[in-house]
Structures are given as structure tokens and as C-alpha cells.
Structure 1
Amino acid sequence: MSIIQSCLLPVFSPPLHSTPSIWLDEPYTPREPLKGSHTCDIAVLGGGIVGVTAAYFLMRKKIGKIALLEANTIASGATGNNAGMLSVDRACDYGRWCDTPERRNIAKTTLQISERTQRLIRDIITEHDIRCDYKISGCAWVPTDDAGEQAASHSLTAMQEDGFSVLPLTQDTLKALYPHARDLYPGYYFPNHGELHSARYVRGLAEVVEREGETIWEQSPVHAFHPHNNGMRLQTAQGTIDCGEVVLACNAYLSKLLPSVASIMRTYRGQIIGMIAPQESLMRMPLCSETAGKRPIYYGRSLPNGKIIFGGGRGEDQKTEEAHAFDKEAMEPVQAAITSYLHTYFPKIAALPVTHRWSGTMAEPKDSMPLIGPSGCFPHTTIIAGMCGNGMGAWGTASAEMGANFVASDRCKAPHPLFDPKRFGL
């Protein structure tokens, strides 16, 4: 190979030693794969927060037999590789969305949907006693410079004017919440936001669905689906299932089934580091933060098991994170960006021993709005995907509810037009 040829090759940093996420690093026995020929009324593809929750809401509607198919194991995708923070979308840049009444209304709608997700998750956990370390801890938005502080003040005022429960975060409160942090600026916080063990929550919800008599198959990737006998037929390596309606809730992996999706939806990774924490409390509330008044965003929280996790930094190498969207290995320079952020603002946390490094795949449509509604390309098909990197806390549960309501209404009760997949010709 010539020197010129070698210079033209993309240069990627080598993978670091990766581990399962903290949520997936515990014993789990997957269900059997789909084998043979089966039928159901509604088939849901995807065993993450969206798919399992959609199956749950459809089960509650009692409109027919539900079957869920997961390519790997329940919660093994983005759901089991996030930070377990129930944080809302648009909170970080609400003020920037207030430049026109139309954009402000979009931001308000988004935040309202996010808050509905929070309430729905809390109610589901309470009703079914799902053991997932859930607690209402609040979530802080913390800038790191003067420009960020001004933007946060603008966002805080706008959100309060629009009726959201958000409070100012003073320097005294910052010192109490993060006693060993430095150079953080006043921002705001949402007192009613929660946190949980994301894999235990979704796997617990899957058990609820199964106890009600619905069927779940794991290790069953669907490689084809097509119209069949006034419904749809799904094919896996070992079997088929015929259904009246199919719900595509596989988020980033939707592009594997529908290649046309790749042109309207970016897929990328988020990376996280897990560390052993000392006995003293270093973080008393989960936080989100951005540097220099721009992305990348960083986020972190303490866990009940004596760990601290921090993630973010994707903007430091967006091209690599998109090129390696479906890779599991943690990679530089994003891991280095997370470490650098910690050294700058949380030096005591930066010195902690690292036990886990992992990544998760996310998907975001071009307009940063999820896809919820009927497919214009396939009959009897509803799409719930593209959770914009915030499926756990903001979009997933409320989107699943909207999608389930649409299916249960004989496709008459369409979700909000902002989310209609037909806006991209899907």
C-alpha cells in the first residue's frame, strides 16, 4: 500500500476494553426463540422500552392476542445501555426553541410528552411493583460558563412561563448537591424527575405482559416481513408468524428492516463509563451539563450499588460515532472526552477506578422528532421509532402509548402530526 493510499484511509482510535453495561452485567436467562408457524392479532418487533411498553398498552386494551419478538434479549439494545435517567427532552435548549411562536409550541409539546412519560413510568412501577431501584431524585441542568448560564436563565424563565415544574439552581444548592465539583454555574433542576435500573424495569414489565397471557420470543431477529392473507407475515431463521397488524418498535434497527429509513434517520452511539464510588456522597442528584454553551452534553448519576456513571461527549467525534453506530466497543476519543470533562469539573470522580465502559445505539430522524404512526409503504404496519437518544426518559413510554392507541382505534386515532412517518414518505 502506498503512503498516499494509507493517508486516505479513515483513522479510528482502537477500541478500549469494553464491558456489558452495569444494567446488563447480571444473570439473565433469555426466553426461547420463535420456532415453527404461529399466528397472533398484533406482532410487536423490538424488546426495548418502546416495544415492551407498546405490548403492555396493547395488552391492556384487550383487543386480541399479542406477540413480541426481540432479536437479542429483552432490554439488550439502547434500553440496557443508557444511564437510567428519566430526563426530559428539549430541557437543555428550551430557550433556543422560543425564537418563534411555532417553535416554542413544538418545544412545549415535546416537554409535555416527556412529563407524561415520567408519570406513566411511575404509575406502571407502582401498580405492578416492579423492582428496579426507581426513585424520584430530580435532575439538574448545569452550565459551565457565562454563556451557558445566560442560556439556562432564558430556558428556565420560558419553561416556568409555560407551566413546567422547574426550579432555579443556585450556587449554594450546587455546592450541596455536588460538594466536590468545581467551576459549575447556576442552572435549573426538575424536582420530579426519576432514575431507575433500566434493564430491570423493562424486563419486569415484560414479565407483566407475559403473566397476562401474551407471548414473548427472544433471540428471534426478523429478517423479512410482507403482506399475507389480509395481514402481515414475519419471518425469522426458525419460523414465521402471521398477524393482522405489526408494530415496528426496533428504533435504530428499523433501518435494517426498512433500508429507506437510513436516508431520513441518523444512527449513532452514546458511550458511558462506570466507576466505583467511595462511601462519601459525590453526587446527590443526577445532572446534565454542556460545555462552552454548546454540545457535547455530559450526564451522570450515582447508583444504589455504590457506583457512579458518566456519559456523553459524542460531539467530540460525531463522525466516528455514526460510522460505528452498531458497534459495541467503547472507543476514543469520546471516552477521553468524558474523562476530560470529569477531570475539569469533577476531579475527585475522575480519580475513581473504572469498572465498566459501554456504548448504546440511538436513532434520530432529521427533524429530531420520533416516528409514530402508520407506514405509508406497508399495509397493517405501525412505526414507533427514532427516539432521538432519549427513549427511556422522554419519548419511549408516551410514544408507545400513542402508537398503541392508534392501533387499538382501528388506525383512526392518529398521533400528533409532528410524528407522522409519512412526513418522510415512510
Structure 2
Amino acid sequence: MERERDRLIKRENVRVCIPRYLQIGKGSLNELPEIIKILGSIKSLLIVTDKQMVAFGYVKKLQDILTKAGLKSDVFDDTVPDPTDKVVLKGIEFLEECKNDAVIGFGGGSPMDTAKAIAAMANFSKNIQDYKPPSMFDKKGLPIIAIPTTAGTGSEVTHHAVIIDSNNNEKISCRGEGFVPIVAIVDYDLTLSKPRRLTIDSAIDTLTHGIEAYVSKKATLFSDRMALDTIRLVMQNIYAVDKNPKDLKAREGLMLAATLGGLAFSNASICLVHGMSRPLGSNFKVPHGLSNAMLLPNVTKFSINHAKSRYADCSRAGEFALPEDSDDVACEKLIKGLYKINKDFEVPSMKDFGINEKNFEDELKNMATDAENSGAPNLNPRVPSVNEMVDIYRQAWRAS
């Protein structure tokens, strides 16, 4: 049987999409005006964020930095946890009123995805269905600056933006070079005040990015190194940051993992976990990181025999397994380790989250069909049928 590594070597031609500028490290936010100056054409920026970021004073800090450098900024803080096309269109109207020529996504994945969509759609089609895969949006929209304040989504470096079509509640993963930020500011100082649940769920989201990028059928030698480093950094730091939320080294490690994970999956793709998690968010309002955490152990168990050497590499990178463990042993340890993570960090089952069983059963077939239509399951090592995805959902619903 051909090993997965041999399969990857055959993928010789890969287009890589990354931001032009990546400013990484403590205090990086202060470097933003200098980067904007280098870009040359930006005079007025729309800060896309949420009301919590405003209330906590982070937005004022950012505006003060911009104002001091002679840059005008306006604030759109009406983003919602699962971005919708209606919010994006509202943001575009506000941008046009303020005459902004660039957009800053400031916050978690939702503000960043909203900012990306505003910047991409402002001068093009306003119908979100026009951005639905397999369509790729590679046109040049307004410049996007991404500043994450959570260590999880990796949206600051990806060519994705997930937006819900309000007409049918469909989550659309918009893709293309037009959604890639021109600048990403990766400053772990901005994550220090995040609550435990958000910190942990974001870290498991990052872990999922690393694993899925590495086992994806579109994985490359370019994405492999970042994917394995993502897994390593998450597992080296998730327990430390939970023990001491002010552990700067651990915060820095998780922030870097999120960025590396974003680069990895943006250039290799996500797989079955993400395909199945999005319908949970749109149907039952399960936060994205948490829905990935709910599904990761069961999806890995379902898939692992179809890419043993790849999953074994993931297990060793995360120190679930020892370097000398066989692939079989490493895979067993990975599955046990992922279930242990969920137990250690009190990740609720879907049942414990409060999803009504009847409503859940009524939506199972639709959710599995939506997952299939996303295309992500087709890149999984083991491609599931709709009925197999229904079984995985049921396992995750009752998991303890």
C-alpha cells in the first residue's frame, strides 16, 4: 500500500496564500501604523469588532495608536458570533458612509470573518451565494488588516470567511485570495483577558486545524511542518495556560500555534471535523471551537485506520505517543488522548450543552447533508456517507 508521504510528494505545484506582512510578538499592535505607512495608500480605516471589545477598552487603545499616527478610524461593532450576510451588508453601508479605504478585523474569528467579507464584497456582488464554493473570489477588494484577540481560528492568515446566508441559514465558507489579509498583527498581549472556556475551546480549535491539515488529502510538504508545529505548540501550552492564565510563555505559544494552524489549513484544507461542526453552529448555536472539540475524538476514531502513519505523526508531535512507538500504538494513544483532553477541560457533550434530543434527531439528516455539501468531508482520509455522519453526530451527542 502506498504510504501517505509518497502521495504528498506527487503534489509538486502548490499556490500559497499568505499575508504580505506578519507582525508577531508582544506589543506588535504598536507596529501597525508603521506598516500602514509602508503600504502607502491607506488613510481611513473601518474597525470591525464587537461590543465587548469596545467595552473592555481594546478598541480605544487601537484607535489611539492610529490617531497618534494621523490615521482616521471608524468603528463598526455590530458583529455577531456567527456572522450573517445581513451584518456584512450593514457594515458595507457604514463603510460607504464613512468613506473608509481599508478594513480592520479586530477580535475573534467572527469579527475577522465579517471584516474580510465587508472588504471583499464592498466593490463587488452583495449576494453571499455568489461566493459559495466551488466559486473562488480572487479579485482585489479593499485592504484587510486582521488583528486576532483569541488564539484559535487562524483567520488572520487564511483565505476563508464563513458567513451565514440569512435566507436559508446556510453557512457559506467563502474562499479566495480576495479574503487574504494584507497585514496580520499577532500580539498575544491581546489574549490575556480571555475567559477559560474561550481560551480552551480556541486551543482545541487550533489543535483540530493542525491535525486536519496534516491528514487532509490536499496536504503538502509546505503545510506539513506548520501543521505538526501547531499540534506540538498546543499540547505544550494548553495545560500550562489553564493552570496559570497569566503565563505569558504559554499564551505566546498558543497564539503562534493559531497562526501556524491557519497557515497550514488554509493551504491544505480542513476535513470532516469542520464540515460537521458548522451545521452545529448554524442550527444549535454551538460556538465554533466548542463544536470542533465535541467532534474531534469521534471523527478521529472514525478516520484513523485510513491514514495511520499520518495520524501517528500527529500523535508523536503532540507527545501523546513516544517517538519510538509504532504507528498502531501511536494511533491508539492519540484517540485516548483526545478523549482525555475533552474530559480534562470539561468539554460538554451535545446533550450536556443543552441541545434538545428531538430537535437534534430532526436535524441530523439535514446537518449531515450540509456537511457533505461543504466539500470538506471529501478531503478526509476516510470519506463518510451521510448515514455515517449521522452516526458520528449521535456518538458525540451522548458522549460524556
Task: Name the TM-score class by shorter chain.
Answer: under 0.3
So what's the TM-score if we normalise by structure 1?
Answer: 0.23
So what's the TM-score if we normalise by structure 2?
Answer: 0.24
